Amino acid sequence: MNSNGLNDLQLLNQALSRARMPEPQAEASRTARQIAIRALRRQARNQGIQ
């Protein structure tokens, strides 16, 4: 895995941990989901899938 892949995994892990926060952080979890989706799309683009 290249450094971009590691960075994307780190972003994904951060996003998932935010998504597991208690309900008062609902807005943060939506943002975390968007971060995760962007990271996955970037990773796919970098690997030439999309």
At 1-50, the pLDDT tens digits run 556 777 888 888 888 877 666 655 556 666 788 888 889 898 888 888 65
Total of domains in the chain: 1
| The predicted structure's pLDDT at residue 9 | 85
> What is the span of the domain harbouring residue 42?
3-46
Q: Residue 47 and residue 31: Cα distance in Å, rounded?
A: 24
| The predicted structure's pLDDT at residue 3 | 63
| The predicted structure's pLDDT at residue 14 | 82
